[in-house]
Amino acid sequence: MSPIDAAWHVLEFSFPTLAMSATAAAFAKLLWRRELGRARWSQLALWAAAAALLAQVGGLLAFGRDGRIATYAAMAAAAAVALWWAGFARPHR
């Protein structure tokens, strides 16, 4: 496998996580405008992406392949918990 092919594999593996995290952070900022006023969108998206990517890698290791529904459910749950923690539980400066 060439380095370009490897880069494409990593991008295609991580794209669902990044897209879902960015969208979830945007919707959280939209729905809880007043409560998340001091939280930056980029911070929310970063926390959600990190948690969802960990869940995705865990699903890959547990099931041996990517694309299982259980993995996607774990990604959504991990992103939701990370958004809650980054937006509500953690103090903002």
Q: Is pLDDT at 91 greater than 90 in this prediction?
A: no
12-16, 18-22, 23-27, 50-54: lowest mean pLDDT where?
12-16
- What is the rounded distance in angstroms from the CA atom of residue 74 to the CA atom of residue 48? 12
Say how far apart CA 93 and CA 90 lie, in whole Å: 10
pLDDT band of 93, cuts 50, 70, 90: low
| DSSP label at residue 1 | -
pLDDT tens track for 36-82: 888 899 999 999 999 999 999 999 999 998 889 999 999 999 999 99
Environment class of 15 (CB within 10 Å of its CB; exposed 0-12, middle 13-18, buried 19+): exposed
Give the HSE-up count for residue 8: Cα atoms under 13 Å, Cβ half-sphere: 5
The domain spans of the chain are 3-89
